[in-house]
Amino acid sequence: MPTKAQEKEKQVSPMLIEERRQHVLATIQREGRALVSELSDSLQISRITIRKDLDHLEARGLIQRTHGGALISQSGTSQDRSIQEKQQVHLAEKQRIAVAAAKLVQDGQCVLLDSGTTTTAVARALRDLKGLTVITNALNIASELSGTDFDVILIGGTLRKNSASLVGPLAEDTLREMHADILFLGVDGFDSTVGITTPNLLEARVNRAMMQASRKIVAVCDSSKFSHRSLAHIAPPTAIHTVITDTNIETADAEALRALGIELILVEG
């Protein structure tokens, strides 16, 4: 049964979700900070809703959450967070995305996996398949699959500790000798106009080499990555064949992807 605050919210708040979030973001950018209580009172919206809005904006790298409120982000683009920091964020969505991704793979195929927490979840979901060849630049993914009957190929390169991935000219050269049926690519930012981005320039170069080596390219990312840009550009959106994300994706982002001819697979958010 809805609370009094939720009933009041329905009656006095005609704002669309994205409109409200943009208002919240503008307030934080203007003031440098904002409290949940102040935003709740000014917008006549429940504190639970405001907290969800702030969580959403933080996931996009636009603000920094604090106890009881939020501060303006120290960076206009996403930070290069460690894999340990990322692995518990949007965990349920990543697991559902991984299950959907595994359904696109057939026994005996060659699968290329980018580094990242979502692609690590995909690696786990692939374990029920047989006879796969898996190529990856991620140390943790190679370790994850070491107990399977898969042929696991770990490309060479320079270790990037934040992501436990191998990057650099050696990694790029190795990928030029490879041919995969399908690539699962994790991204830090997905803008329907600019394309896919990542915080690290060397990682972006390896990602492009992976795309060139693959017949089918599938971006796997939770909905917080959309309408967000990171430092290094990987490729335009039209280079992606399929996107797997959760149902919390904004309608405008979903429509933009479909308009570009990209297959969109949605899992429960």
Pick the CATH number of 4-72 from 1.10.730.10, 1.10.10.10, 3.40.50.2300, 1.20.120.450: 1.10.10.10
**Domain residue extents for the chain:** 4-72, 83-267
- The yes-or-no verdict on residue 264 having pLDDT over 50 is yes
- The yes-or-no verdict on residue 5 having pLDDT over 50 is no
* pLDDT in the model for residue 15: 65
Query: Which is more confidently placed, 185 or 45?
Result: 185
- pTM exceeds cut of 0.95: no
- The yes-or-no verdict on residue 94 having pLDDT over 60 is yes
* pLDDT in the model for residue 106: 98
**Using one digit for the tens of pLDDT, what is the confidence trace for 186-198?**
988 999 888 999 8
Q: How many CA atoms, within 13 angstroms, populate the side-chain half-sphere of residue 44?
A: 10
* pLDDT in the model for residue 17: 85
* pLDDT in the model for residue 19: 80
* pLDDT in the model for residue 61: 72
* pLDDT in the model for residue 7: 47
* pLDDT in the model for residue 213: 98
The mean pLDDT value of the chain amounts to 87
- The yes-or-no verdict on residue 8 having pLDDT over 60 is no
Identify the band that residue 88 occupies on the pLDDT scale cut at 50, 70 and 90.
low
| Common-topology check for domains 4-72 and 83-267 | no
Least confident stretch, 54-63, 125-134, 203-212? 54-63
**Using one digit for the tens of pLDDT, what is the confidence trace for 235-254?**
999 999 999 999 999 999 99
Distance of alpha carbon 130 from alpha carbon 36, whole angstroms: 50
What mean pLDDT is predicted for residues 202-211?
96
* pLDDT in the model for residue 220: 97
42 closest CA partner among 72, 10, 9: 9
What mean pLDDT is predicted for residues 51-59?
87
Distance of alpha carbon 94 from alpha carbon 89, whole angstroms: 9
Pick the CATH number of 83-267 from 3.40.50.720, 3.40.50.150, 3.40.50.1360, 3.40.50.920: 3.40.50.1360
* pLDDT in the model for residue 76: 45
* pLDDT in the model for residue 137: 97
* pLDDT in the model for residue 73: 65
- Whether the CB-CB separation of 220 and 114 falls below 8 Å is answered with no
- The yes-or-no verdict on residue 79 having pLDDT over 80 is no
Least confident stretch, 99-108, 127-136, 144-153, 226-235? 226-235
- The yes-or-no verdict on residue 6 having pLDDT over 90 is no
- The yes-or-no verdict on residue 77 having pLDDT over 50 is no
3-state SS string for the chain: CCCHHHHHHHHHCCCCHHHHHHHHHHHHHHHCEEEHHHHHHHHCCCHHHHHHHHHHHHHCCCEEEECCEEEECCCCCCCCCCHHHHCCCCHHHHHHHHHHHHCCCCCCCEEEECCCHHHHHHHHHHHHCCCCEEEECEHHHHHHCCCCCCEEEECCCEEECCCCEEECHHHHHHHCCCCEEEEEEECCEEECCCEEEECCHHHHHHHHHHHHCEEEEEEECCHHHECCCCCEEEECHHHCCEEEEECCCCHHHHHHHHHCCCEEEEECC
